[in-house]
């Protein structure tokens, strides 16, 4: 006999009179415990969280329709279920059931369920099935898309080919036709590049490759950025994915087996017979749903196997090598390459500063295998980095980190060139505009504008590269996507009105301080803000110069979706790749955009014309000049205060 507290008695303790010392033990109700004491207590703890009667719980277990027990709770019941001796003791108990402990009372009711432990396992499988399938399907699709991305990457292929030829040049020397003996490079050998010495023995072969590609094939240097899925795929194991699929198939076999067992079970209890019939039908229908889901997973597994074989054939690797191991080697190579490249860039920048702007050379022999590392001058500096992702997505990255990606003439010109290149290439279906570093853009470069004033006159804004860029952006017939990775100021906000899709990182902010700094709004925002966002939002943006958070920008429809800052660009690339490959026909987009713009386009161009007209007038009478010079003084004083 064991004492077990009654929950109802506990709830009424506050109202009961204070008992005499020692009376609590004497008056405690004793319960009959037939199980191991610890097992009985643990089952009671599980049942205490369930707001159902024991007959209701057993009915829900039989019909596989129990929503009150969690998967861990079901596992606890399965693990603590009575053994044969304990079950025999329960079956032979013929006393008052109310004298039994909580666990034993439940088991007295549940004993009518045939093969109850198997039913609990079926119920647990049902509860876990949907999230397990969702996770497995997502991982299979990720692996498939990741392998496809790697095999489709022209920049990765170019880098590996470069490594292959450079490595054989190191081994055989010049003038030797090494391709007779060596046909390809092994992915596993990429890990050795960091430890292998180059020609002069002072740097690693990987460092030499990075330097050579930066000099000879700069368009290949950012290949790792085109492989957004590689790192995630390398963490997946095909063996584990297949094992999970087999485990789910095992669950289906368990369901089918229980359905068959329920069909042959005989009982004279009419009520129990009806419940078992419902149970059998529930399991049969659910087994059909499971089979349909698993058939879909099997198609993905088959596709993954095809992609695996294509990968091994493409890279000429042995069929016995695990795919996740090869992907891991590629991911490590991409990471090491990117780190070495960043170190190379930092060394070049430090060298440039130390030589007061004069170009410098890396201390290597000046032959075809050495890196003559010179930093570009301000006139030729690349301020918009451009590359192609997944063969169809064109990425233009604003890259003026020291100026927080502020727009200057060079940036406008290079963006215009990027738009021309994007429009001319029929294989490109989306262009993503984003910023390098912490900022999307800090707006127009006021300090540079002040620097070009010269004799006290200002070039008419309507004749500036900014005007050319704005018209090219308005004329673009293909998909334009903005990925706002950080603060967006001035034109960083106004250009969003002319993008088809806008993503924002959760750290992004949006600010248009035109009136605060004494300039008129730009890029037709005098029309787009009130007509696309509403008068109230336009007033907050322009009149009050309110800084909007990413969430606030989403609420007022400045942006279409907010994503986590961590891995932001990779997530945008995944979304757009899915969009352009599966969800719309790129050839129909120009007609769709033309229809959308039919009424709005003339008004936007008219607003743009009047804005530049105002800027030209203010530039001609010196008003804009005074504003720019005042801002320049402001920036100088602000910089001095930090020293």
Angle at 189 between CA 188 and CA 194, to 5 degrees: 120
Q: Which of 262-271, 400-409, 533-542, 604-613 has the lowest mean pLDDT?
A: 262-271
For residue 306, name the pLDDT band (cuts at 50, 70, 90): very high
Task: List Cβ neighbours of 154 (8 Å cut-off, separation of 6 or more).
Answer: 388, 391
The pLDDT assigned to 244 comes to 93
Asked if residues 298 and 291 have their Cβ atoms less than 8 Å apart, the reply is no
What is the reported pLDDT for 449? 57
> Which one is predicted more confidently, 109 or 134?
134
Task: Give the mean pLDDT of 599-627.
Answer: 68
Q: Rounded distance, CA 191 to CA 213, Å? A: 18
Which is it for strands 548-549 and 509-511: parallel, antiparallel or unpaired?
Answer: antiparallel
**SS3 of residue 549 by DSSP:** strand
Q: For residue range 492-544, what is the model confidence (pLDDT) as tens digits? A: 999 998 898 999 999 999 988 877 666 777 788 888 888 788 887 878 778 77
- Provide mean pLDDT across the span 624-641: 52
pLDDT at residue 377, as a whole number: 34
Q: Average pLDDT, whole number, for the chain?
A: 78
Whole-angstrom distance, CA of residue 496 vs CA of residue 474: 11
Provide mean pLDDT across the span 95-112.
Answer: 83
In this predicted structure, what is the pLDDT of residue 420? Answer: 87
Which pair of structure tokens corresponds to residue 226?
A: 């085109």
In this prediction, residue 366 has a pLDDT band, given cuts at 50, 70 and 90, of: very low
Residues 6+ apart with CB under 8 A from 435: 397, 398, 405, 441, 484, 485, 486
pLDDT at 167 over 80: no
Mean pLDDT value of segment 81-103: 84
CA dihedral 459→460→461→462, nearest 10 degrees, is -140
Give the pLDDT score at 398.
92
Q: Is the pLDDT of residue 180 over 80?
A: no
Token pair, residue 257, equals: 């087996």
Give the separation between CA 220 and CA 336, rounded to whole angstroms: 15
pLDDT at 508: 94
Residue 265: partners with Cβ closer than 8 Å, 6 or more residues away: 114, 276
> What are the CA-CA distances from residue 531 to residues 386, 423, 479 (Å)?
33, 28, 22
Residue whose tokens read 């660009």: 569
Interval 464-490: pLDDT, tens: 788 888 888 888 888 999 999 999 998
Q: Are 143 and 137 a contacting pair, CB within 8 Å?
A: no
Query: Rounded to whole angstroms, what are the CA distances from 261 to 147, 248, 264, 272?
Result: 44, 20, 6, 15
More confident site: 110 or 362:
110
Query: For residue 106, is pLDDT > 70?
Result: yes
Residues 6+ apart with CB under 8 A from 205: 166, 167, 170, 193, 194, 196, 197, 198
Per-residue pLDDT tens for 50-82?
Answer: 788 888 887 777 777 767 777 888 888 888 888
H or E element in which residue 482 lies? strand 479-484
Using pLDDT thresholds of 50, 70 and 90, give the confidence band for residue 21. low
Residue with tokens 């997502």: 138
pLDDT reported for residue 198: 64
The confidence score (pLDDT) of residue 363 equals 38
pLDDT in tens, 151-163: 999 899 888 888 8
pLDDT at residue 43, rounded to an integer: 86
Q: What is the DSSP string of 310-333?
A: HHHHHTT--TTS-HHHHHHHHHHH
- pLDDT for 630 equals 59
Neighbouring CB atoms inside 10 A of 641's CB total 7
Mean pLDDT of all residues in 237-264: 87
**Residues 119 and 62: beta-carbon distance below 8 Å:** yes
Percent of the chain at pLDDT > 90 equals 18
At 371-408, the pLDDT tens digits run 223 333 334 578 888 888 878 889 999 998 888 899 98
Q: Among 138, 147, 151, which residue's Cα sits nearest to residue 304?
A: 147
The model's pLDDT over 557-604, given as tens digits with 9 standing for 90+, comes to 899 999 999 889 999 998 888 888 776 666 677 777 777 766 777 778
285 versus 639: the higher-pLDDT residue is 285
Joined tokens for residue 561: 């979706």
Lowest mean pLDDT across 170-179, 218-227, 364-373: 364-373
Predicted confidence (pLDDT) per residue in 140-152, tens digit: 999 999 999 999 9
- What pLDDT was estimated at residue 299? 94
As beta bridge partners, residue 481 has 432, 501
Nearest CA to 331 out of 539, 191, 510 is that of: 191
pTM (global) more than 0.85: no
Taking the mean position of all CA atoms in its chain, how far away is CA 102? 48
Write the CB contacts of 420 (distance below 8 Å, at least 6 apart in sequence).
Answer: 472
Band (196; pLDDT cuts 50, 70, 90): confident
Q: How confident is the model at residue 14 (pLDDT cuts 50, 70, 90)?
A: very low
Query: What Rg do the C-alpha atoms of the chain give, in angstroms?
Result: 35
Which residues are registered as beta bridge partners of 504?
Answer: 484, 562
Region 26-35 average pLDDT: 68
Average of pLDDT values for 87-105?
Answer: 84
């Amino acid at each position: 006999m064991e004492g077990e507290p009654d929950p109802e008695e506990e709830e009424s303790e506050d109202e009961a009179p204070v008992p005499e010392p020692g009376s609590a033990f004497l008056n405690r109700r004793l319960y009959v415990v037939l199980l191991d004491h610890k097992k009985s207590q643990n089952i009671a703890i599980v049942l205490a969280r369930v707001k159902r009667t024991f007959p209701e719980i057993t009915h829900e277990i039989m019909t596989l329709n129990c929503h009150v027990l969690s998967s861990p709770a079901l596992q606890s019941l399965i693990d603590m279920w009575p053994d044969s001796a304990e079950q025999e003791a329960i079956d032979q108990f013929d006393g008052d059931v109310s004298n039994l402990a909580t666990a034993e009372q439940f088991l007295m009711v549940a004993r009518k369920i045939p093969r109850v432990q198997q039913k609990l396992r079926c119920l647990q499988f049902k509860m876990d099935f949907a999230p397990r399938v969702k996770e497995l399907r997502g991982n299979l699709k990720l692996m498939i898309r990741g392998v496809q991305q790697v095999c489709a990457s022209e920049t990765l292929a170019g880098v590996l080919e470069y490594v292959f030829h450079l490595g054989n040049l190191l081994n055989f020397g010049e003038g030797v036709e090494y391709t007779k003996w060596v046909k390809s490079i092994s992915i596993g050998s990429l890990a050795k590049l960091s430890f292998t010495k180059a020609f002069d023995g002072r740097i690693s072969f990987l460092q030499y490759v990075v330097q050579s590609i930066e000099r000879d094939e700069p368009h290949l240097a950012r290949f790792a950025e085109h492989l957004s899925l590689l790192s995630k795929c390398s963490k997946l194991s095909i063996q584990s994915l297949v094992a999970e699929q087999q485990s789910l198939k095992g669950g289906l076999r368990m369901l089918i087996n229980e359905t068959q067992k329920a069909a042959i079970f005989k009982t004279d209890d009419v009520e129990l017979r009806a419940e078992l019939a419902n149970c059998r039908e529930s399991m049969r229908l659910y087994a059909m749903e499971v089979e349909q889901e698993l058939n879909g997973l099997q198609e993905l597994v088959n596709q993954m196997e095809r992609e695996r074989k294509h990968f091994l054939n493409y890279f000429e690797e042995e069929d016995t090598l695990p795919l996740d191991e090869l992907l891991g080697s590629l991911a490590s190579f991409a990471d090491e390459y990117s780190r070495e490249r960043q170190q190379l860039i930092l060394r070049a920048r430090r060298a440039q500063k130390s030589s007061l702007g004069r170009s410098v050379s890396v201390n290597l022999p000046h032959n075809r295998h050495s890196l003559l590392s010179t930093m570009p001058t301000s006139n030729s500096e690349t301020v918009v980095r451009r590359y192609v992702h997944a063969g169809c997505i064109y990425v233009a990255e604003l890259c003026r980190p020291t100026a927080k990606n502020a727009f200057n003439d060079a940036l406008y010109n290079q963006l215009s060139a990027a738009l021309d290149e994007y429009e001319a290439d029929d294989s490109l279906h989306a262009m993503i505009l984003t910023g390098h570093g912490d900022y999307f853009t800090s707006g127009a470069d006021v300090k540079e504008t002040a620097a070009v004033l010269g004799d006290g006159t200002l070039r008419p804004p309507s004749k500036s590269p900014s005007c050319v860029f704005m018209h090219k952006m308005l004329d673009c017939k293909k998909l334009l996507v903005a990925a706002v990775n950080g603060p967006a100021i001035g034109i960083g906000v106004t250009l969003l009105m002319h993008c088809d899709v806008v993503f924002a990182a959760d750290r992004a902010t949006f600010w248009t301080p035109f009136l605060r700094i004494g300039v008129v709004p730009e890029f037709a925002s005098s029309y787009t803000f009130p007509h696309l966002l509403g008068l109230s939002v336009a007033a907050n943006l322009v009149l009050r110069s309110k800084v909007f958070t990413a969430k606030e920008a989403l609420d007022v429809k400045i942006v279409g979706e907010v994503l986590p800052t961590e891995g932001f660009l990779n997530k945008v690339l995944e979304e757009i790749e899915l969009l352009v490959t599966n969800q719309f026909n790129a050839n129909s987009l120009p007609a769709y955009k033309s229809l959308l713009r039919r009424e709005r386009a003339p008004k936007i161009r008219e607003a743009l014309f009047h804005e530049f007209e105002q800027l030209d007038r203010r530039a001609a009478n010196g008003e804009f000049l005074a504003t720019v010079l005042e801002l320049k003084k402001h920036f100088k004083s602000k910089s001095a205060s930090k020293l």
